[in-house]
Amino acid sequence: MHNTQPIGIFDSGVGGLTVWKELVNSSPNESIIYYADNNNCPYGPKSKEEIIELSSRVVDFLLTKKCKVIIVACNTATAAAIEYLRSNYPIQFIGIEPAVKPAALNSKTKSIAILATEGTFNGKLYLGTSQKYAKDIELNVKVGDRLVDIVENGLVDDVETENHLSQLVKPLIEKNIDHLVLGCTHYPFLTEKLKKVLPDNVEIVDPAPAVVKQTSRVLEQLSLINTENTSPTYEFYSSGGTKILKQLLKKITNKNTTVIKL
């Protein structure tokens, strides 16, 4: 393993770009390979076995690209498959889970909400963290019904989206929450819309910065931080449609990016 090898990152679709963006900003020397499993998106309603199977296929692909570590930039895939991946592949994985801990520790109203997919709520990881850090907190969970589809279909700016979000968060607002944890990497694309339908005192928590920090820690431990002065390369692959991935990349980077359809 050499420090100039790329970091692999995957999601069921375009959601992991919210982590990719953070990674590019914080680790500008690192080359990155992004894989969007658009053909199989959403993972949320799928069984654990299916998600393990799909994630393994993606990991097999990323290993052919000589990735030095892999970020599972999908809460749902982390919940269902990270244990399996860690025990079956000789490479380090960095997972993502809803940021219950910081939200619970900083809550003044002692009431917080988590928005995630059903797959994430069913996972052991989420249960363990919430039992550990949110014992004295009212934890309001909500499945982000249709939100992944809205992002994957480019409907974020639709009038209907704001109405839908408003309905979704209404029961959470009634619970006097002061933190809304985004437990799915697709959801930060909806942050601006969420701000419009949430009271000003509700903080929206995106776990991407924490995942990127953890990635740096792992690379440091493995002596794999790229300290060489080479220009990084960014590659994008999708198992399905590439349109939204390209559109969002254009928004994020202000450039046209090639996405390879597999």
Task: Enumerate the active-site residues.
Answer: 74, 184
Residue 7, φ and ψ in degrees, nearest 5: -90, 135
120 binds ligand DGL (CB under 6 A): yes
Token pair in block for residue 162: 């704001």
The answer to whether 209 touches 178, Cβ cutoff 8 Å, is no
110 vs 102: CA distance, rounded Å = 12
207 binds ligand DGL (CB under 6 A): no
Return the number of the residue (70 or 224) whose C-beta is nearest ligand DGL: 70
Question: Dihedral of the CA atoms 53, 129, 62, 238 (nearest 10)?
Answer: 70
Return the number of the residue (20 or 43) whose C-beta is nearest ligand DGL: 43
Site for ligand DGL in 137-166 (CB under 6 A): 148
Q: Which of 7, 23, 30, 42 binds ligand DGL (CB under 6 A)?
A: 42
Q: Which of 44, 95, 207, 241 binds ligand DGL (CB under 6 A)?
A: 44
Q: Which of 38, 55, 117, 140 binds ligand DGL (CB under 6 A)?
A: 117
Query: Closest separation between CB of residue 121 and ligand DGL, Å?
Result: 10
Containing 57, the helix (H) or strand (E) segment is helix 48-64
54 binds ligand DGL (CB under 6 A): no
17 binds ligand DGL (CB under 6 A): no
43 binds ligand DGL (CB under 6 A): yes
Return the number of the residue (61 or 226) whose C-beta is nearest ligand DGL: 61
Q: Which of 17, 19, 41, 177 binds ligand DGL (CB under 6 A)?
A: 41
238 binds ligand DGL (CB under 6 A): no
Angle between the 48-64 and 75-88 helix axes, to the nearest 10 degrees? Answer: 70
| Total binding residues toward ligand DGL, as defined by CB under 6 A | 16
Tokens 């991935």 appear where?
245
254 vs 241: CA distance, rounded Å = 20
Strand 138-143 vs strand 260-261: parallel, antiparallel, or unpaired?
A: unpaired
Distances (CA, A) of 133 to 36, 39, 100, 105: 32, 36, 7, 8
Q: How far is Cα of residue 170 from the mean position of the Cα atoms in its chain? A: 24
Return the number of the residue (123 or 224) whose C-beta is nearest ligand DGL: 123
11 binds ligand DGL (CB under 6 A): yes
185 binds ligand DGL (CB under 6 A): yes
The answer to whether 248 touches 189, Cβ cutoff 8 Å, is yes
Options 7-15, 61-69, 123-131, 206-214: segment touching ligand DGL (CB under 6 A) = 7-15
130 binds ligand DGL (CB under 6 A): no
Q: What value, to the nearest 5°, has the Cα angle with vertex 255 and ends 249 and 258?
A: 65
**Site residues (CB under 6 A) for ligand DGL?**
11-12, 15, 41-44, 74-76, 117, 120, 148, 184-186
